[in-house]
Structure 1
Amino acid sequence: MFTFEIDDEITLRLLNETDADELFQLIDHSREHLREWLAWIDGTKTIHDSKQFIHACVDIHEKRQGLTLGIYFHDKLAGVIGFNTIDWTNQIGVIGYWLGSTFQGEGIMTRAVTGLIDYGFHQLGLNRIEIRAAFENIKSRAIPERLGFLQEGQIRQGEWLYDHYVDLVLYGMLASEWDLERSLL
């Protein structure tokens, strides 16, 4: 099973069916917080829904089309991160992430995204990584901005959230830029 240790507090690992209950509880306790920016929350009503999500993630991983990982903070599931898609032809990965409400403010997501970017560029051989966040989702946008991503544009009405469209901000980072950015830290 894929496991990637970020530091002494955070580990990323593939989710499996035994994680379904913990995943569902995390979503359920963070439902109001997550619903503002994630359209799939209302469709996650039972542990069975979390099991189906995990099975889909495993399938995507086995087909090498993406990589979805649980974020474990002190061995507790804190959120999910991954390459929602991987375009092997063009060597591009698109990162998505969310964090449970009780885990906010610990720097967890910045460290998890940093680790996943390192893995994407240095282990998977990606040339480009993208992050897309709703224009008004300031917390989510802060991650790529903090990490030196270039804001490349805005995708008008790029995502449907329950009863309205939201614009997405597109951020991009190239492998050569990441290595330069990391050497400056």
Structure 2
Amino acid sequence: MKTIQVDEHITLKLVDHERDSLSRWFSWPERLKGIENYSEYIKVTQFLYERKLAAAYVIHVNKKVVGSIGFNQIDIEAQSAQLAFWLSERFYGQGIMTRSCKALIEHAVYYYSIYAFEVLVNSENTKR
């Protein structure tokens, strides 16, 4: 996994563009409006990450933000984590999420010694 600096405005712009699609699967898009809300989300996410309770990463293709992936919950003691992700519809069907999930799981096994992963999926999402 590679670290890059991402402008909050760029990521929020993608969320705004994908809001209708994301709202079909998640409750958070309606709460994440405006740069102030997004900046607060970043602060909370950083706080949780520093305590190894959660982690969030952007997915990028050619330095362009196309989605997000992470762990909503990390339980170091139980060696488990809950995986969550989303991808811009324009990038569906290219194997991006498959590669991202594989990379994140490998990262979690190596850095956190996590061996059990839970993925919550919407049973109506049968496209991919």
Q: TM-score, normalised by structure 1?
A: 0.64
Which has the bigger relative contact order, CA under 8 A and spacing at least 6?
A: 2
* Aligned: 1:136 with 2:124: yes
1:43, 1:115 → 2: CA distance? Answer: 29
Listed as ranges, the gaps of 5+ residues in structure 2 are none
1:65, 1:77 → 2: CA distance? Answer: 24
For residue 79 of structure 2, the aligned residue among 91, 98, 113 is 91
Contact kept? 2:76, 2:112, Cα under 8 Å? no
Shift of residue 40 of structure 1?
A: 1.1
Shift of residue 74 of structure 1?
A: 0.7
Give the corresponding residue for 1:122: 110
Cα distance per residue 1:76-126 (max 9 Å; x no partner): 111110111111111001100011222222211111001111111233211
Shift of residue 55 of structure 1?
A: 1.1
* Aligned: 1:70 with 2:55: no
Give the corresponding residue for 1:38: 26
1:37, 1:119 → 2: CA distance? Answer: 26
Larger Rg computed on CA atoms: 1
Q: TM-score, normalised by structure 2?
A: 0.90
Cα distance per residue 1:37-63 (max 9 Å; x no partner): 011111122122211111111111011
Aligned length in residues: 128
1:47, 1:138 → 2: CA distance? Answer: 32
The structure that is strand-richer by fraction is: 1
Give the corresponding residue for 1:109: 97
1:123, 1:23 → 2: CA distance? Answer: 26
Cα RMSD (Å): 1.7
4+ residue segments displaced more than 3 Å: none
